């Protein structure tokens, strides 16, 4: 049975076959990846929706294969955010909201996040405000700004924060500091450095579901500094009865679940009432190696 957590923890995807035999049980069939993923994690980023909306039959299957406490965090389609840039996107938005309604009806809907294009700056504030105010209040939304103008620690940043706070929305905290902390160790990190943004990190919760997207190194020891930094912040939110979302990334997707578990284990050091995550398959086959990973932050 999946453990019950007072916050949401997950990765950017669940359908990664290389986790079979390491994170997932060795006998896991390809069609059962979501079921296996939800044994350990209670949320996932819905990045696939950025590229295309799934058929309703697919949504029904996702809900049937996930645990009752599981929540999807859908990403707004790029047709809305990057192509229409939030203007004249009523039809695309309606289609997306139907997806959210289906997930909500099945009690699997978490926060939905709108990732703004890198060039979408504070000159477009009015467009952003108009779009957000038109969204239904029934669902929970968050915004991920990527242009540096949104982080001026002055009027522009305050204006955005006030808008989101008044609407009951959160601002996605994208922390890629570990990734950029030193030169790449391998090709996957080099590629990630080309794709991932570097934006200032603010540890502020504007709404009830603060979201942290944490991009770790493939070498888990190199994430130690930032994991120790985040644990008391997230624990404070939990103690304040907020329900944070914490999504762990790594340049090598195979390492993302281990980054997530390291974050959770550090949280447990501050809050021993938190349960341990379900065992990874590699815990049984490589106990000594995995114990070293678990002991990194002791």
Q: What pTM, to 2 d.p., does this model score? A: 0.92
CA gap 57, 74 in Å, rounded:
17
CA gap 214, 250 in Å, rounded:
8
CATH of the domain at 109: 3.20.20.410
Average confidence (pLDDT) over 164-187: 96
Whether residue 263 lies inside any domain: the answer is yes
C-beta separation of 256 from 44 below 8 A: no
**Domain, as residue range, for 202:** 8-294
Please give the DSSP secondary-structure letter assigned to residue 220.
G
pLDDT above 60: residue 290: no
Instruction: For 93-108, write each residue's pLDDT tens digit.
Output: 999 999 999 999 999 9
Whether residue 156 lies inside any domain: the answer is yes
Query: Residue 285 has what pLDDT?
Result: 61
Average confidence (pLDDT) over 288-298: 48
Instruction: For 255-265, write each residue's pLDDT tens digit.
Output: 999 999 999 99
Query: Residue 294 has what pLDDT?
Result: 46
Instruction: For 129-155, write each residue's pLDDT tens digit.
Output: 999 999 999 999 999 999 999 999 999
pLDDT above 90: residue 236: yes
Whether residue 178 lies inside any domain: the answer is yes
pLDDT above 80: residue 3: no
Whether residue 3 lies inside any domain: the answer is no
- Other residues' Cβ atoms within 10 Å of the Cβ of residue 287: 11
- Give the Å distances, CA to CA, from 247 to 94, 102, 139, 162: 27, 23, 20, 25
What angle is formed at CA 260 by the lines to CA 269 and CA 234, rounded to 5 degrees?
Answer: 55
Query: Residue 1 has what pLDDT?
Result: 61
pLDDT above 90: residue 22: yes
Whether residue 1 lies inside any domain: the answer is no
Whether residue 2 lies inside any domain: the answer is no
Whether residue 84 lies inside any domain: the answer is yes
| Count of domains observed in the chain | 1
Whether residue 110 lies inside any domain: the answer is yes
Give me the long-range contacts of 259-262 (CB less than 8 A, separation at least 24).
Answer: 259/214, 259/216, 259/220, 259/223, 260/9, 260/10, 260/11, 260/41, 261/294, 262/216, 262/220, 262/223, 262/227, 262/293, 262/296, 262/297
pLDDT above 80: residue 286: no
Instruction: For 190-232, write each residue's pLDDT tens digit.
Output: 999 999 999 999 999 999 999 999 999 999 999 999 999 999 9
- Give the Å distances, CA to CA, from 213 to 57, 134, 182, 263, 288: 29, 26, 19, 12, 29
User: Tokens 């995995």 identify what position?
Assistant: 290
Cα 192 from chain centroid (whole Å): 17
When pLDDT is cut at 50, 70 and 90, the band that residue 296 belongs to is: very low
Query: Residue 282 has what pLDDT?
Result: 87
Query: Residue 53 has what pLDDT?
Result: 96
For the chain, give the mean pLDDT. Answer: 93
The pLDDT > 90 percentage for the chain reads 92
With CA atoms as reference, report the closest residue to 192 among 171, 212, 213.
213
Any residues with CB less than 8 A from the CB of 204 and at least 6 apart, and which?
Answer: 161, 171, 210
């Amino acid at each position: 049975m999946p453990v019950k957590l007072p916050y949401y923890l997950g990765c950017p995807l669940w359908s990664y076959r290389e986790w079979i035999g390491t994170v997932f049980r060795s006998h896991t069939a390809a069609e059962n990846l979501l079921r296996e993923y939800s044994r350990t994690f209670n949320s996932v980023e819905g990045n696939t929706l950025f590229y295309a909306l799934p058929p309703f039959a697919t949504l029904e299957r996702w809900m049937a294969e996930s645990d009752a406490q599981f929540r999807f965090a859908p990403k707004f389609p790029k047709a809305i955010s990057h192509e229409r840039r939030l203007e004249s996107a009523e039809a695309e938005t309606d289609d997306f909201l139907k997806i959210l309604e289906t997930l909500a009806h099945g009690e699997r809907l978490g926060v939905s996040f709108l990732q703004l294009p890198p060039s979408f700056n504070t000159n477009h504030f009015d467009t952003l405000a108009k779009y957000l105010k038109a969204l239904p209040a029934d669902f929970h939304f968050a915004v991920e700004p990527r242009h540096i103008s949104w982080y001026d620690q002055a009027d522009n940043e305050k204006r955005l924060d006030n808008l989101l706070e008044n609407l009951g929305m959160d601002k996605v905290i994208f922390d890629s500091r570990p990734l950029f902390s030193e030169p790449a160790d391998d090709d996957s990190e080099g590629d990630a450095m080309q794709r991932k943004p570097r934006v200032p990190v603010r540890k502020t919760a504007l709404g009830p579901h603060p979201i942290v997207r944490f991009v770790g190194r493939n070498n888990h020891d190199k994430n130690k500094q930032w994991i120790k930094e985040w644990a008391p912040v997230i624990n404070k939110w939990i103690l304040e009865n907020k329900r944070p979302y914490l999504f762990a990334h790594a340049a090598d997707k195979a390492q993302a679940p281990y980054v997530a578990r390291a974050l959770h284990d550090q949280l447990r050091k501050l809050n021993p009432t938190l349960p341990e995550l379900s065992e990874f398959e590699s815990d049984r086959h490589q106990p000594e190696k995995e114990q070293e990973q678990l002991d990194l932050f002791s």
